[in-house]
Amino acid sequence: MSINPSKAQDVWKDVGESVQFTVLKFKDLPRQELHDAIVAFADRSQAIIRSMRIRDTDLAAATGLKVAFGFSNHAWDILFPNTPKPKELETFKGVKGPEYGMPGTEGDLFFHIRDADHAAVYETQAQFMRFLKDYTEVVDSTQGFRYFEGRAIIGFIDGTEAPAVEDAADYALIGDEDPDYENGSYAFPQKWRHNMDVWNHMKTEVQEKAVGREKFTDLELEDEDKFENAHNVASQYEEDGEEKKIVRMNVPYSDPAAGVTGTYFIGYSRHWTVTKGMLQNMVDQSDFLLTFSRILNGQLYFIPSRDTLAQIADDEFK
């Protein structure tokens, strides 16, 4: 076998106009009851997605409904204790640096739903919850949106250093290093809350040094013009002198009347060790973005391929 994007869930950089991130945890119910519910949902969810794509008002593949759904290590232990795990699936317990840390928080199921039409996002999540609400509690539910020109909420173009779409599969999808879970992916969602008053009172030149790029043109600054802890320096990760990449998106969310604004980060990777290395570098180097931000949550999830979801639906995982 080989990597085949058509067998994968939607683990690509396509922010959509409207985005829903949902983290659920299991209620304290018997293991077999939870197992049976998820087996049924693995089948039902794919039918819901197919139906919603037919109903979607925007049929263009680039802007239509995209969904990724997965399990944490904790969920796997509950649902499939007798089935070998994906090789890099673990519980994220957080990372710490000299000044800042990133917590690992609870969660069993993760959903990333996006579309050009918010109605399709709403209806998809609503139908999912019809079959999950009796078995789960909501840990976090966040609605995001596409900001002007595809920029992050702090005003800089998002994702310039992420792999191009045509190259993304090799960075996002598990390959023959773990053949039982090929075309799956490791997802790491993380919710940031920003103090926008602090950020907005910084001069543009300071913001550029903090991010490592020009704000208007998106051109990268020369190394000597960046802060030592600029975001595009601190978030780099190398193995044996080679820079490693993941597929990542920074999705804005906000309730401006309440003064709540932040970024929901989602990274999809072939190797969790790469994402984890990036996170550790960010706290080790005190990434400038952490100076005006607070990390609210984060956990690792395995996003099964569609073939693996079919195996779960057939109750092959025990």
Q: Which residues contact 220 (CB under 8 A, 6 or more apart)?
A: 160, 212, 213, 214, 232
E-assigned strand segments in 135-184? 136-145
- Give me 288's structure tokens: 């400038």
**Active-site residue 56, yes or no?**
no
The C-alpha angle with vertex 139 and arms to 313 and 295, in degrees rounded to 5, equals 120
What secondary structure does DSSP assign to 266-314, as a single string? EEEES-HHHHHHHHHHHHHTT-GGGGGEEEEEE--EEE--HHHHHHHHT
Query: Three-state DSSP class for 191?
Result: strand
Range list of β-strands (E), 93-184: 95-96, 101-102, 109-115, 136-145
List 158, 178, 223, 284, catalytic entry: 158
Tallying the residues shown for the chain, one arrives at: 318
Helix (H) or strand (E) holding 187: strand 185-194
DSSP state of 131: H
3-state percent breakdown (helix, strand, coil) of the chain, nearest 5: 35, 25, 40
**237: nearest Cα among 187, 185, 272, 193:** 272
Tell me if residue 41 falls in helix, strand or coil. helix
Catalytic positions, written as ranges: 158
